[in-house]
Amino acid sequence: MSSYAPVGGRLVTPVTVVLGGLFGISVFLLVIRFINGLGAVSNLNDGYTWGIWVVVDIVIGTAFACGGYAMALLVYVFNKGQYHSLVRPALLASMFGYTLGGLAVLFDLGRWWNFWHLISPAYFNVNSVMFEVGACVFLYVIVMWIEFLPAFLEKLGINRLRQKLNKMMFLFIALGILLPTMHQSSLGTMMVVFGRMIDPLWQTNMLPLLFVLSAYTMGLSVVIFEASISAEGFKRQRETRLLGQMSTVIVGLILIYLAIRIGDIIARGELSRIYSNGFLSGMFLVEMALFLIPVLILLTKRARSSAALLFVAAVSMLLAGSLYRIDTMLVAFNPGSEYSYFPSIPEMLITIGIISFEILAYIVLAKYLPVLHQEKQAGATGELRSL
């Protein structure tokens, strides 16, 4: 027996039906997208050629999917074995986040039938940051499926292969830490080439460092977020003490992030833009506030042992990291006054549909595969109908 167990329970519940419905709508809209082109469902244009499919589905989506990366680094590199029970659920969410982020790339690629050029040496352009991101994300998705394979093998009762795989797992764990470090930072580097098209409050050569730091912190936060939701939704024991302990790491990382962010703005002599930049100054301050809220909340030990406050802090950090990405890639990006962009309703529905599918698949797999940490007392599987 492993220390993880399936949650069990019924598949058809109000929650899964709604998620399925939202996913169905997005499939319908995607059919239209593939028949009539990107413009048929989106407001993308030559000024804002990347919209929410890139920024939310891929860039923010994969940052939300950094839970596996964050836990692996904490548990296997910093040897914090006490967090081991959080690894597999985090890995499952990451695997889905990345796999679907990869699929979302296909909806957004204009010439999607050529997508394999990204991993074909004949086409490689090693100068391209996007090549690095594409190849790296592709490899990482494979690595995560291998890391998750023991859960499938356990379910199917193929134990010899599982044991063999587990013995080699350290190789994939190491890759599973290196690869996200590489492409999460590269997602920041990707914006450097836009030069003066991005406002100086956001445009900096520090983008790779800021992106990977915030992605890692979002990864830790999403673990708290998911553990809280799982505890509520699957009616499981809370892991508040463990999560509270981990939240101190989040506070430290946010402080490092803010020090680099602000220090860099001062060093480049752009500090006055924080108040003299109109709407963008406002966006910057909202961003800063969202980063500071978790720091302030988690200062006291009492707050760190409150499930509700931990949840609020995690949500604030996730919003902060998301807004940072939206600001950098859309709000602070100015291709000229003749262009404007706000996502269309079908565009948003497709994004919502993809997220719905992700949550749906997580629920289904958590019910049928040994993913969540096994409960100590028996009988906890009695109340499972809420999800």
Partner 1 sequence: MKRRDFLKGVVGSCAAMATVSGSVEARGNNPRLPGAVGLLFDSTLCVGCKACVTACKQANDKVLDVPADKPYLDRTMHLSPDALNVIKMYKNGKPEVKDREVDGFAFQKQSCMHCVDPSCVSVCPVQALLKDGTTGVVTYDKDACIGCRYCVASCPFQIPKFNYDDPFPEIHKCQLCNHLWSENKFSACADVCPTGATLYGPVEKLMAEAKRRTSLNPGEVTRFPRRDIEGKEFGREQKVVKYVDRIYGEKEGGGTQMLMLSGVPFDKQGLPDLHERSSASVSETIQHTLYSGLVAPAVILAGLVGVARRNTKNHTDESPEEDAHE
Near partner 1 in 310-369, by CB under 8 A: 335-336
- For residues 303 and 246, what is the distance between their CA atoms, to the nearest angstrom? 13
The tokens describing 206, both together, are 């520090």
Residues 6+ apart with CB under 8 A from 223: 67, 70, 71, 86, 89, 90, 243, 246
DSSP 333: B
> Rounded to the nearest whole angstrom, what is the least distance from the CB of residue 298 to partner 1 in the complex?
24
Nearest to partner 1 of 47, 233 (CB atom): 47
Which of 5, 174, 307, 380 touches partner 1 (CB under 8 A)? 174
Near partner 1 in 274-293, by CB under 8 A: none
Integer Rg of the chain from CA = 21
Near partner 1 in 62-91, by CB under 8 A: 75-79, 81, 84, 88
Fill in the amino acid letter for 349. L
> Rounded to the nearest whole angstrom, what is the least distance from the CB of residue 142 to partner 1 in the complex?
16
Q: Is 3 in the site for partner 1 (CB under 8 A)?
A: yes
Give yes or no for a contact between 2 and 154, defined as CB atoms under 8 angstroms apart: yes
Q: Is 219 in the site for partner 1 (CB under 8 A)?
A: no
Which of 90, 173, 242, 361 touches partner 1 (CB under 8 A)? 173
Which of 11, 20, 24, 124 touches partner 1 (CB under 8 A)? 124
Binding mask 182-201 for partner 1 (x = CB under 8 A): x--xx--xx-xxxxxx----
Q: Is 171 in the site for partner 1 (CB under 8 A)?
A: yes
Near partner 1 in 24-63, by CB under 8 A: 34-40, 42, 44-47, 49-50
Nearest to partner 1 of 34, 275 (CB atom): 34
Nearest to partner 1 of 195, 278 (CB atom): 195
Which of 5, 103, 109, 229 touches partner 1 (CB under 8 A)? 109
- For residues 248 and 293, what is the distance between their CA atoms, to the nearest angstrom? 14
Residues 6+ apart with CB under 8 A from 331: 280, 283
The tokens describing 339, both together, are 């262009």
Which of 14, 166, 266, 386 touches partner 1 (CB under 8 A)? 166
Q: Which residue has the tokens 């039906």?
A: 17
Cα–Cα separations (whole angstroms), residue 125 to 115, 119, 141, 181, 251: 14, 10, 21, 20, 38
Fill in the amino acid letter for 112. W
> Rounded to the nearest whole angstrom, what is the least distance from the CB of residue 177 to partner 1 in the complex?
5
Which stretch, 8-16, 123-131, 275-283, 356-364, contacts partner 1 (CB under 8 A)? 123-131
SS3 for 5?
strand
Q: Is 379 in the site for partner 1 (CB under 8 A)?
A: no
Nearest to partner 1 of 36, 300 (CB atom): 36
- For residues 52 and 58, what is the distance between their CA atoms, to the nearest angstrom? 9
